[in-house]
Structure 1
Amino acid sequence: MIDQSNLMSSAREDELNRALELFHFAFRAFTAKPDQLLEARGLQRVHHRILYFVGRNPEIRVSGLLAILGVTKQALHAPLRQLIAMGLVQDSPHASDKRGKCLRLTPEGEKLEAALSGAQRKLLNQTFEQAGVAGEQAWRNVMEQLMGQLPK
């Protein structure tokens, strides 16, 4: 017996392929300006993600950052060390657990993060203004549905 739940019409597959393409090109537009700023410093998107989440969570422990990013210690180690070496992130021992490190942005790190994420906030704001309240809410709903699909 054939499982009918995985079958879709050719027209629906074409629509979904178009959605994939839109997602790809929208993401390219969303990351274009930050990518230029990062490249000028020899950094990559992973560095932006670290700066963003450390900036939103001052004094975050490394373990908390690992959980947010959903990466391994090995994946985080090199880019985080690079940001610390560049004076963009500061680490200090946790007040109650000296084995744990707390992270915060330095003033230079705050400046870079503001430029990177500021470009994206500006683009989102312009796009949401054009899409209207209903369009923005529909976009948020789709993003939340996709986010809910993250493996546990």
Structure 2
Amino acid sequence: MVDSNREAELRRAVEALYFGYRSFTSLPDQILAEYDLGRAHHRILYFVQREPGISVGSLVAVLDVSKQALNRPIRELEALGFVTIRSDPHDGRIRRLSTSAAGAALESRLTGAQLDLLESVFADVDSHAERGWRDVMARLAGDG
């Protein structure tokens, strides 16, 4: 149960997270809309770019979604020429994903907008604030 003495403060934290996330996703959402894509497509591009050749199964685990949830956006990215899908040379049942040059460029544009925003925000706060933010985000993600 939430301590009633902290409820207002916690509600402000919820709002800060909501409005911060809205700002964090605003420009990428506009870019994605140019291609009729959404945030799921960005997440896929981001992690495939970070780990070229990632298997669909590994991507499912990283994103903590079902294969069914990834199937449509992966196919859309493939149809648009942003992602390539290849069978694993050692196990044909495993599908490996990579970004094409166009997919890498789109991912760079999307994530670049977020990196610029974070760099700007972190430049305005001291290292303790940045470290605190990272700690909070890690805890929210279940990593801390």
Shorter-chain TM-score bucket reads over 0.9
The 5-angstrom pairing of residues 60-139 of structure 1 reads 60-139=54-133
**Runs in 1 of length 4+ with deviation above 6 angstroms?**
none
2: CA distance between counterparts of 1:99 and 1:17?
Answer: 47
Q: Which runs of 5+ in 1 are unaligned?
A: 1-5
Matched, 1:8 2:39: no
2: CA distance between counterparts of 1:113 and 1:52?
Answer: 6
Instruction: Tell me which amino acid in the other structure corresponds to 1:82.
Output: E
Q: Which runs of 5+ in 2 are unaligned?
A: none
- Cα deviation for residue 95 of structure 1 reads 1.5
1: CA distance between counterparts of 2:64 and 2:34?
Answer: 27
Evaluate the alpha carbon distance shift between residue 7 and residue 51 of structure 1 in structure 2; reply closer, same or farther with a 3 A threshold: closer
For residues 98-141 of structure 1, what are the alpha-carbon distances to aligned partners after superposition, in whole Å with 9 as ceiling and x for unaligned? 11111000000000000000000000011111012111101001
Report how many aligned residue pairs link the two structures. Answer: 144
Instruction: Tell me which amino acid in the other structure corresponds to 2:100.
Output: T
How many percent identity over aligned positions? 45
Instruction: Tell me which amino acid in the other structure corresponds to 1:122.
Output: D
2: CA distance between counterparts of 1:8 and 1:101?
Answer: 48
Compute the RMSD of aligned alpha carbons.
Answer: 1.3
Instruction: Tell me which amino acid in the other structure corresponds to 1:45.
Output: R
Instruction: Tell me which amino acid in the other structure corresponds to 2:104.
Output: E
TM-score, length-normalised on structure 1?
A: 0.92
1: CA distance between counterparts of 2:76 and 2:67?
Answer: 14
TM-score, length-normalised on structure 2?
A: 0.97
1: CA distance between counterparts of 2:2 and 2:19?
Answer: 27
Q: Which residue of 2 aligns with 1:3?
A: none
1:55 pairs, out of 30, 49, 57, with 49
Q: Which has the larger radius of gyration?
A: 1
Instruction: Tell me which amino acid in the other structure corresponds to 1:93.
Output: S
- 3-state SS in 1 of match to 2:6: helix
